[in-house]
Chain A
Amino acid sequence: MRQPQRRIQTPKTARRHRPDKQPAEQPEKTEEAVQNLNRLGQLTVPTPPPESDIHSIAIIGQIEGHLTLPPQNKTTKYEHVIPQLVAIEQNPNIKGLLVLLNTVGGDVEAGLAIAEMIDTVSKPTVSLVLGGGHSIGVPIAVSADYSFITETATMTIHPIRLSGMVIGVPQTYEYLDKMQDRVIKFVTKHSRISEEKFRQLMFCTDQLARDIGTVMVGKDAVEIGLIDEVGGLAQAVKKLRAMIEERQNGGVLH
């Protein structure tokens, strides 16, 4: 059922751009190609792609915070992502933000900082969880205006204080509990899941082999109210476009 539906969507968007552009570009391109061949001995030279009004930020690997991680880690550097979000917010040519997540978690403070920034971007934001959006990836996933998860992606919710996942100075129970409360409050405020349910998933004892917590695959996360919809790239971009259009038609300026 899904394959044919997708095929219908693609030509629709493609058709909109093609008819007026292609005839005009064709002779120009040929001329350019001949010039390149004469000058450089090659047919194509890299040309800058047209500027996109949608920007995407990939949150991958470990979210690196106050501690620089050794080089075997693939990291998302929050000190770079945060000013990027500032630039996206204030640049009038950027109409929307797509956040792609494939993260194993990371620094709580850095992750919450990114989540708060995405939440307070005034432009439409859509998140898409691919592969995994674990631990501190969960608040980032729900921070967007609308969230998607692919069918096969997983999200792990587990307590902060267990299984040696805490580093630094000896942490007191109260401090860890406070950190955990910050995350739980953020997630429950930005998704349909209740605090009670989220805590229940977090302290579930029969799901993970070496830890307590819950792994949710694709539609589990939607059914539980954490993520809005199961979908992939096409659905995420379509939703973002629809939100941008709605914003423009509604006359709400950012």
Chain B
Amino acid sequence: MLWTVMPLDVVLAGSDSYRPSYVEIRRGQAVLLVEATGGNAGRLIRVISSDPNDYLKPELQPGMNINLNG
């Protein structure tokens, strides 16, 4: 449920056609959900880890470019 001052049609524009492909890769103890952007490149979407310190690592912030081959 969204509660926002932005018009909903602006927020949700393109949500029907937006179908990113995600891959999961492992980095240390963390599993990274990465959106493949072509070749070996990807953009980090989500970090899954039970170590909270992983979430403070600058290289593991959402939106970072990730090399899928490590």
A-side residues, CB < 8 A to B, are 55, 62, 65, 67, 69-73, 77, 79-80, 83-84, 86-88, 90-91, 104-109, 111, 132, 134-136, 156, 158, 160, 164-168, 171, 179, 183
* Residues of B contacting A132 in the complex (Cβ-Cβ under 8 angstroms): 5
Closest chain-B Cβ to A190's Cβ sits at a distance in Å of: 17
Cβ contact within 8 Å between A167 and B18: no
B-side residues, CB < 8 A to A, are 1-9, 11-15, 18, 46-47, 49, 52-56, 61-62
A183 to B4, CA, bound (A): 13
Cβ contact within 8 Å between B4 and A86: no
Cβ contact within 8 Å between A104 and B14: no
> Inter-chain contact count A-B, CB under 8 Å?
98
Closest chain-B Cβ to A5's Cβ sits at a distance in Å of: 34
* Residues of B contacting A77 in the complex (Cβ-Cβ under 8 angstroms): 46, 62
**With A69-B15, A70-B14, A87-B55 given, is the CB distance from A107 to B2 under 8 Å?**
yes
Closest chain-B Cβ to A56's Cβ sits at a distance in Å of: 12
* Residues of B contacting A62 in the complex (Cβ-Cβ under 8 angstroms): 2, 4, 6, 11
Cβ contact within 8 Å between B52 and A86: yes
Closest chain-B Cβ to A148's Cβ sits at a distance in Å of: 21
Cβ contact within 8 Å between B14 and A72: yes
Q: Please name the residue on chain B nearest to A169 by beta carbon.
A: B1
Cβ contact within 8 Å between B52 and A105: no
Cβ contact within 8 Å between B15 and A70: yes
A134 to B47, CA, bound (A): 27
**With A69-B11, A77-B46, A109-B1 given, is the CB distance from A87 to B53 under 8 Å?**
yes
